[in-house]
Amino acid sequence: MLALKCRVNVIIVTAMFEIIRVENFSPSTFLWEVIAPEIAQAARPGQFVIVRSDERSERIPLTIADFNTDEGTITLVIQAAGKSTDQMRAYRVGDSILDIVGPLGEPSEIENFGTVIVVGGGLGVAPVYPILRALKLHGCNTISIIGFRTKSLVFWEGRFRDYSDETIIVTDDGSYGQMGLVTQPLKEILAARHVDRVIAVGPLVMMRAAAETTRPFGVRTIVSINAIMVDGTGMCGSCRVNLAGEIKFACIDGPDMDGHLVNFDELIIRQRRFVKYEKQSIEMCKNRCQE
């Protein structure tokens, strides 16, 4: 195993990383627990890794959804969103992945802020979990709002209850918890009592809605920007974000950013810039697999 220290405490590790646990949350969402002791040791809530499954794979940024320094493992929760993440579904316990770079990005700010609402939407529930846990362990009063499309997609409810003073679950179709979007209970709580900070992680449209919900209340709102990343070290410019007119890079200045300053409209357009090629890539892969 080769471990190099490079800029801002990033550990680059090249080795084979064994998957010791696979858990399927739904047909498209799954968890890997991977042996990566150096990364587990260095990881902080809010950081991510870039994974390359084999020598022909794309580099895929994934948030460190959990890390265990005793066991030397990191946990990744992955949604099959396109060709590469779909191919990753085929990995089983005992398989290895080629390389992992990380931990990357700035850790989340963790301190006793007072009352904090942690909002997770869909897959965003996984990355926000270590932030919630750290905030609780630092003495915050924590309220969790986690939202899913439907009951069968709900995961980690128990983990959230363990570190939340209050847990609210919402589903779009009302099949579990409250019916509706995460922004509904968020608005109700903000209108009813004092809240010191909101942390929202999920799809860009959800984070934009959360930031717009908190804006009139003047509550500091942190979002985690999952812009398209290539190198993950601030060199390519792919993940640039317009933060109140200033250009920032989500991979080194974030992923956490002030949700009231992010230009989400611009970001959402940029996020779709490769859609044509992503579709072609899925089609080509399907055809090759059928041969």
Ligand X SMILES: Cc1cc2nc3c(=O)[nH]c(=O)nc-3n(C[C@H](O)[C@H](O)[C@H](O)COP(=O)(O)OP(=O)(O)OC[C@H]3O[C@@H](n4cnc5c(N)ncnc54)[C@H](O)[C@@H]3O)c2cc1C
Query: Which of the choices ligand X, ligand FES, none does residue 127 contact, using the CB cut-off of 5 to 8 A by kind?
Result: ligand X
Does 231 sit near ligand FES (CB under 6 A)?
yes
- Calculate the dihedral angle through the C-alpha atoms of 7, 11, 15, 16, rounding to the nearest 10 degrees: -130
Residue 83 interacts with, from ligand X, ligand FES, none (CB under 5-8 Å by kind): ligand X
Q: Are the CB atoms for 198 and 210 separated by under 8 Å?
A: yes
| One residue of 110, 234, 261, 278 binding ligand FES per CB under 6 A | 234
CB of 240 to ligand FES, least distance (A): 7
79 binds, among ligand X, ligand FES, none (CB under 5 to 8 A by kind): ligand X
Q: Smaller CB distance to ligand FES: residue 65 or 225?
A: 225
| Bridging pattern class, strands 240-243 and 246-249 | antiparallel
- Cβ proximity to ligand X: between 85 and 233 the closer is 85
Contacts of 169 (CB under 8 A, 6+ apart): 146, 147, 148, 154, 157, 176, 177, 178
Q: Is 251 in the site for ligand FES (CB under 6 A)?
A: yes
Buried b (16+ CB within 10 A) or exposed e, 133-164: bbbbeeebbbbbbbbbeeeebbbbbebbeebb
- The residues that bridge with 230 in the sheet, in sequence order, are none
Q: From ligand X, ligand FES, none, which one binds at residue 249 (CB under 5 to 8 Å depending on kind)?
A: ligand FES
Question: Does residue 91 bind ligand FES (CB under 6 A)?
Answer: no
- Residues in contact with ligand X by the rule CB under 6 A: 48, 58, 60-63, 77-79, 81-85, 123, 126-127, 226-229, 255, 271, 275, 278
Task: Retrieve residue 211's tokens.
Answer: 């930031």
Of 232, 274, 181, which Cα lies nearest the Cα of 12?
A: 232
Binding site for ligand FES (CB under 6 A): 229-232, 234-239, 249, 251
